[in-house]
């Protein structure tokens, strides 16, 4: 039997919260097989490798991200695990809509849900290279922010409600260079507003 300390080192790859083909045609089963089964898994494996035998072994993912300090490879891999864990929950094969409180806040901050989607799409398209576009709760309102590469709002004390992954591995097999069309389809067809509403209520 492995010592307890070894057992505690493990960050795990959560299963997808939907079937591989549930998001088609916006996100194909083939994209999911690489994105979840290869990219996300590689971030999990690398994080476990990097924390093994260190004081961060056995700590939560959030503690590892905040405790990575100057260890950039550890920060990047752990943050990417967290970002992807969050991202899958932001997607839903069934149509959802913001809860009443969140919808009111969206109206107050952006004017309408359509205006929010437009601003989030613009931010996603404007993110140079790899990264993420986020809807976050800030103070009494909502904001759109982007992060570059692996960076994550939780490393900056921000409260994310919803995200879109704009690394090319998220869409290139299905959409090639059409990032804007992919993000629009993602927001129109797959955005999980139930999850965003839960995050908003817990902020
Ligand atoms: Fe990704």
Q: How far is CA 35 from the centre of its chain?
A: 12
Mean pLDDT of the chain, nearest integer: 95
Q: Which fold has domain 100-201?
A: minor pseudopilin epsh fold (3.55.40)
Q: Where are the domains of the chain?
A: 27-89, 100-201
Distance from residue 35's CA to the centre of ligand 1 (Å):
6
As a whole number, mean pLDDT of residues 119-140 equals 96
Distance from residue 3's CA to the centre of ligand 1 (Å):
33
Distance from residue 178's CA to the centre of ligand 1 (Å):
16
Q: What is the pLDDT of residues 6-20, one digit of tens each?
A: 555 689 999 999 999
| Cis, bond preceding 77 (omega within 30 deg of 0) | no
- Say how many CA atoms lie within 13 Å of 85 toward its Cβ: 16
User: Given a cut of 80, is residue 182 above it in pLDDT?
Assistant: yes
Distance from residue 116's CA to the centre of ligand 1 (Å):
22
**Reported pTM:** 0.94
Distance from residue 161's CA to the centre of ligand 1 (Å):
17
Q: What is the pLDDT of residues 149-175, one digit of tens each?
A: 999 999 999 999 999 999 999 999 999
CB neighbour burial string for 132-163, b if at least 16 within 10 angstroms, e if fewer: bbbbbbeeeebbbbbbeebbbbbbeebebbbb
Neighbours of ion ligand 1 (CB under 5 A): 165, 167, 170
- Say how many CA atoms lie within 13 Å of 59 toward its Cβ: 18
User: Given a cut of 60, is residue 122 above it in pLDDT?
Assistant: yes
Distance from residue 24's CA to the centre of ligand 1 (Å):
17
As a whole number, mean pLDDT of residues 127-144 equals 95
**How many CB atoms sit inside 10 A of residue 73's CB?**
13
CB neighbour burial string for 29-50, b if at least 16 within 10 angstroms, e if fewer: eebbebbbeebbeebbebbbeb
203 vs 18, residue with greater confidence = 18
CATH of domain 27-89: 1.10.287.990
As a whole number, mean pLDDT of residues 51-64 equals 95
- How many percent of the chain have pLDDT more than 90? 94
Task: Say what the pLDDT of residue 139 is.
Answer: 87
């Amino acid at each position: 039997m492995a010592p307890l300390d070894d057992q505690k080192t493990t960050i795990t790859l959560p299963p997808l919260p939907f079937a591989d083909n549930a998001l088609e045609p916006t996100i194909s089963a083939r994209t999911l097989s690489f994105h979840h089964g290869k990219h996300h898994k590689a971030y999990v494996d690398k994080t476990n490798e990097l924390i093994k035998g260190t004081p961060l072994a056995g700590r939560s993912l959030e503690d590892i991200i905040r405790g990575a300090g100057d260890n950039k490879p550890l920060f990047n891999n752990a943050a990417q695990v967290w970002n992807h864990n969050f991202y899958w929950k932001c997607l839903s094969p069934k149509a959802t809509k913001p809860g009443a409180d969140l919808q009111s806040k969206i109206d107050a901050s952006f004017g309408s849900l359509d205006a929010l989607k437009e601003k989030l799409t613009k931010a996603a398209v404007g993110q140079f290279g790899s990264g993420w576009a986020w809807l976050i709760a800030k103070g009494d309102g909502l904001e759109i922010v982007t992060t570059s590469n692996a960076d994550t709002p939780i490393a900056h004390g921000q409260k994310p409600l919803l995200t879109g992954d704009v690394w090319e591995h998220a869409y290139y097999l299905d959409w090639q260079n059409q990032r804007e069309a992919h993000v629009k389809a993602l927001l129109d067809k797959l955005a999980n507003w139930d999850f965003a509403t839960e995050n908003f209520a817990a902020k």
